[in-house]
Amino acid sequence: MMRTRPLKVALLGCGVVGSEVTRIMTTHADDLTARIGAPVELAGIAVRRPGRVRAGVPEELLTTDATALVKRGDIDVVVEVIGGLEPARTLITTAFEHGASVVSANKALLAEDGAALHAAAEQHGVDLYYEAAVAGAIPLVRPLRESLAGDKVNRVLGIVNGTTNFILDKMDTSGAGYSEALDEATALGYAEADPTADVEGFDAAAKAAILAGIAFHTRVRLDDVHREGMTEVTAADFASAKQMGCTIKLLAICERAADGRSVTARVHPAMIPLTHPLASVREAYNAVFVEAEAAGQLMFYGPGAGGAPTASAVLGDLVAVCRNKLAGTTGPGESAYAALPVSPMGEVVTRYHISLDVADRPGVLAQVAMVFAEHGVSIDTVRQQGKDGEAALVVVTHRAADAALSATVEALRRLETVRGVASIMRVEGE
């Protein structure tokens, strides 16, 4: 059943992802036609600077008026790869109002405003797909939303930001400090001129919000995600990690509480054992573990960013929404029926690695141990290293609530014998 009137696609943005989308739509047009059941035609490409040379991009399709493009009335699908909140949000909403389905790679917008966008799509009977918003080419949104639709996901744990993984991998393997590793990442094009969104964990937090929302059938917004960046991870932290048989990764962790009645979502650097599969995820690769009640542990691994991988995810969605258009239907929309409360970071239960600078005198360990005990935080191991009247004390705890650990650390800081808290890092993946 091949129809000949082509489906019309409007592309918003023509940077690294947009130009790859254009290239693939042009060079693989016959395959896309066969897989969709109708030809797809690139009807227009909205860009900010039409004068810029874009190899392989038909100049006659370029326009600076994105609003007019989505309002044309004959557009079947809008592909949004501009990023950021505005004008993306308004353009997507306008697209819905004009009957177009939307494929987006916009993690920030979806984490901020996913519920409203889903509602708008449903109201207008169109699709909103966004596989490319999380972990580039790695299929994650579709497996969570469809393959695991009959299962109960308890945990999503992963490396979802390639820039920070490249930096941490570099620090781990070369012994470099943070700024040296960042410089290399910038020089190689893995980090942007302003790396804030990556290194402060904003990008990973947006992805955590999206993943938690889908995994737990609950609305989770960016604000619900506890976020700590990785700019303060030091070479000394890596040395400590190695002594424990661990390395350090920036992790996104979405968990269902043990009683099943609430969920948490967080992004922070953490130590993980070298034996854990995530420990061997190198360079800018991403990998995500999903633990489900019936399926057990699944892992998804691949390139988490880049023009071509992101375009692959965009085009997979494009085929799906085009098929839906032809069938006169829509795919699964938002599923937030569980509406579980998102608990604050204080209720997260995990393990901790704490380095203290203490006075090297008898009784200090006993004093420190007492503070942990008073706050109900059980110690797993303590390592003591003395030097010149000062000593370093490294404490690894058993599982404890984050609030209890914070209170412990506050009390430790008040101890006269504790000169400083050199680092606190969570230990995951055990």
The binding site for L-homoserine consists of 192
Q: In angstroms, what is the minimal distance from the CB of 394 to its own copies?
A: 29
3-state secondary structure of 321: helix
Q: In angstroms, what is the minimal distance from the CB of 254 to its own copies?
A: 17
Q: Is 411 in the site for its own copies (CB under 8 A)?
A: no
3-state secondary structure of 148: coil
Q: Is 35 in the site for its own copies (CB under 8 A)?
A: yes
Please name the helix (run of DSSP H) or strand (run of DSSP E) that holds residue 5, with its range, or none: none
Q: Is 297 in the site for its own copies (CB under 8 A)?
A: yes
- Strands 101-104 and 285-292, sheet pairing: unpaired
Per DSSP, 407 falls in state: H
Which of 51, 150, 363, 389 binds its own copies (CB under 8 A)? It is 150
Q: How far apart are CA 204 and CA 227, in angstroms?
A: 9
Which of 235, 244, 319, 403 binds its own copies (CB under 8 A)? It is 319
Which of these ranges, 187-195, 245-253, 288-296, 394-402, lies near its own copies under the rule CB under 8 A?
288-296
Tokens coding 5: 């009137």
Asked if residue 356 lies in contact with residue 422, where contact means CB atoms within 8 angstroms, the answer is: yes
Q: In angstroms, what is the minimal distance from the CB of 23 to its own copies?
A: 9
Residue of 129, 138, 92 whose CA lies nearest to 334: 129
* Per-residue contact string for residues 210-249; x = within reach of its own copies by CB under 8 A: -------x--------------------------------
Q: In angstroms, what is the minimal distance from the CB of 298 to its own copies?
A: 4
Q: In angstroms, what is the minimal distance from the CB of 350 to its own copies?
A: 23
Which of 6, 87, 99, 139 binds its own copies (CB under 8 A)? It is 139
Which of 245, 277, 376, 386 binds its own copies (CB under 8 A)? It is 277
Q: Is 262 in the site for its own copies (CB under 8 A)?
A: no
Q: Is 29 in the site for its own copies (CB under 8 A)?
A: no
Active site residue 170: no
Please name the helix (run of DSSP H) or strand (run of DSSP E) that holds residue 245, with its range, or none: none
Tokens coding 157: 């744990």
Pick the catalytic residue from 8, 170, 207, 249.
207
Q: Write the CB contacts of 427 (distance below 8 Å, at least 6 apart in sequence).
A: 244, 246, 270, 271, 272, 350, 351, 352, 353, 396
Which residues is 266 bridged to in the sheet?
A: 226, 253
Give whichever of 244 and 319 is closer to its own copies, judged by the CB atom.
319
Residue of 90, 79, 191 whose CA lies nearest to 132: 79
- Strands 349-359 and 285-292, sheet pairing: unpaired
Q: Which residues bind its own copies (CB under 8 A)?
A: 20, 24, 28, 31-32, 34-35, 131, 137-139, 142-143, 146-152, 217, 277, 280, 292-303, 306, 308-309, 311-320, 323, 327-330, 332, 335, 337-338
Catalytic residues: 207
